[in-house]
Chains A and B, each alone.
Chain A
Amino acid sequence: MAIIEVRDLSKQFRVARPREGARGPLARVRREYTDVRAVERVSFDVEPGEMVGYIGPNGAGKSTTIKMLTGILVPSGGRLTVAGFEPSRQRKEMARHIGVVFGQRTQLWWDLPLADSFTLLKHIYRVPDERFAANLGRCIDTMEMAEFLRTPVRQLSLGQRMRGELTAALLHNPEVLYLDEPTIGLDVVAKSRIREFLTSLNRDAGTTILLTTHDMGDIERLCRRVIIIDRGGILYDGDLERLKARFATERTLVVDLEEPAPALDVPFATVERVEGPRQWLRFQRADTSAAELIAAVARAARIVDLRVDEPSIEDVVLRIYAGAAKGIAINDPSPG
């Protein structure tokens, strides 16, 4: 049975704006209201133990969805259950089964040492002493937090604070963990530390993780499945590899020739760029293999060095957003 079930979920906001063309002192007092559809008829299921990337451009409706899943916002339409609870009606009961990290918010108490926040959370979630000690101990060990436990939260670095936030969200062994941009603003080392921790959490504790991010590195390293949304609706829901296979069909062969040459003329490839002896050749996976293309280039010129560039997941997603803007349907017919 799915641990998260979302059916036709919608959320509209009434947003006030000053009347167009209105002038004079009352212009700002008399306002018109517009309905903004932040999320529109979104449906998906998440199975226990899955790690799902929920991605989309700014304003796509990601955070609004998460806020409805945590019970903070009441949906305008549709149905959802999380761990058997209806979030907006059973918010308090459900809260013990979920953990949330909002990368740009803090759930720690600003002016107290990190450890004090954990103690307070222990009481908020009524975590038994032994379990608290075990959970906290594991987080301290795997994320190397011992040295800054007594530091007030306001003095922590962003990377340290983020490790604290994750610990705070996990002290009560949630079955579901929502992460809203957990690596935002972190450096490479801090990012990889967080990713490793999440992988082991998902593997060892079987925690279901729903992750929103703009960092495609997070997605590639963590998620087998992605849900892409834009303008409140789902564009793609399925396997990450299949997404790449379908949309990342173009590759680029970069060759360094012995000496500068005019753009090469080889079958199935288009020269995109020439820079001295270096040339970029774009080709479709379906038309030719990299080996065949290299052989063809070698017949035309002497190669000193070469590499094949795969499109990044970032490019793929950019193309999907662009396609959606033009109204191209890309929904995977058989979502994973």
Chain B
Amino acid sequence: MRLYWEVFRHGYRRWATYRAATAAGVFTNTVFGFLRAYVLVAVFAASATIGGYDRSDALTYVFLGQGMIMAVYMWSWWEIALAIRSGDIVTDLSRPFDYQAYWLAQDLGRACYHAVFRGIPPFVVGAIVFDLRMPESPLTWVLFAASVVMAVCVSFGVRFLVNLAAFWLLDYRGVGAIATACGTFLSGFVVPVAFFPGWLAVIAHALPFRGMIQVPIDVFLEKESGGALFVMLAVQVGWAAALFAAGRLVLRAARRRVVVQGG
């Protein structure tokens, strides 16, 4: 366990090295938060609630989402795919650790850095300018934090699988584009899944992506309580576990069948 704790810290420090990038990222995420917020302000001028969300819910939704982008790391993470393509993966595969656990620990370390330094600033700025909805129960904060951790796990599970596709496909970017599109829309990042037409909402509920954004935000907004809240979180945990298991199976198959690139 000590090893994975060290890897976690290492994941954190790797990203903490790039301070200018962090500042630029915070700026961008905040600006886009404002763009999205003003669109919604216009929309809610015409209608008091949409899909159960009022104006204040929707604005909170936007700034929580903007803050979670980097922690959840929805877009373009290709470290494993690039290591497969360059062949550098051979060194990590010859080490005495569990390859998936190693990357998960590193990714959680990274997410921890991003949650604090890329997540909190856009939300605080949003909360100063707009009237955002804060949780009524203190327990909600705890559940929200737990759900964000699970969101990182779900996202990691998806990214790990998509990256492993590089073992079979010389160009992994096709699969990546599909995963990115799914992550962006079906996670509820652009608009809440509750805004979707019925058939699309059914699809979104049947897939893991909702657990990356929608679930933690609904926890924060206290949209569900009691049994329904429990089920929502249990499904999120279930998806993380299923994705990890799938990742292990695919990695095992890759080891057996596939050429490591580069001789």
The residues of A with any CB-CB pair to B shorter than 8 Å are: 13-15, 58-59, 63-64, 67, 70-74, 91-93, 95-96, 98, 100, 102, 104-107, 109, 111-112, 116, 119-120, 123-126, 152
Task: For B255, give its contact among A59, A63, A74, A116 (CB under 8 Å).
Answer: A74
Q: A72 contacts B256, CB within 8 Å?
A: no
A residues near B96, Cβ cutoff 8 Å = 91-93, 95-96, 124-125
Asked if B225 is at the interface of the complex by the 8 Å CB criterion, the answer is no
Can you report 10 A-B residue pairs in the complex whose CB atoms are below 8 A from each other?
A: A15-B259, A73-B255, A74-B255, A92-B96, A104-B87, A105-B86, A111-B17, A124-B95, A124-B96, A152-B17
Contact residues in B for A109 (Cβ distance below 8 Å)? 10, 14
Bound Cα distance A96, B95 (Å): 8
Q: What band does the interface of chain B fall in when counting residues whose beta carbon is under 8 Å from A?
A: 20 to 34
- Secondary structure at chain B's binding surface: helix, strand, loop or mixed? helix
Q: Which of A15, A92, A116, A124 has the largest number of chain B CB atoms within 10 A? A: A124
Can you name the residue of chain A whose Cβ is closest to the Cβ of B263?
A63
Q: Find chain B residues with CB under 8 A from A71 CB.
A: 94
Which residues in A have their C-beta under 8 angstroms from that of B86?
105
Per-residue CB contact flags for chain B residues 1-42 toward chain A (1 = under 8 Å, else 0) read: 011001100100110010000000000000000000000000
How far is the CB of B12 from the nearest CB of chain A, in Å?
11
- Would you give the shortest CB distance from A38 to chain B, in whole angstroms? 9
CB-CB under 8 A from A64, the residues of chain B are 263
Chain A nearest CB, measured from B17 CB (Å) = 6
Chain B proximity of A111: nearest CB distance (Å) = 6
With A67-B90, A92-B97, A96-B96 known as contacts, the answer to whether A74 contacts B256 (CB < 8 A) is: yes
The reply to whether A116 and B10 contact each other, CB–CB distance below 8 Å, is: yes
Residue B242, interface by CB 8 Å: no
The answer to the question of B145 belonging to the interface, with a C-beta cut-off of 8 Å to chain A, is no
Residue in A96, A107, A126 whose CB lies within 8 Å of B91? A107
Which single member of A13, A72, A116 contacts B94 (CB below 8 Å)?
A72
Known: A13-B259, A73-B260, A105-B86. 6 other contacts (CB 8 A): A15-B259, A71-B94, A92-B97, A112-B17, A123-B2, A123-B3
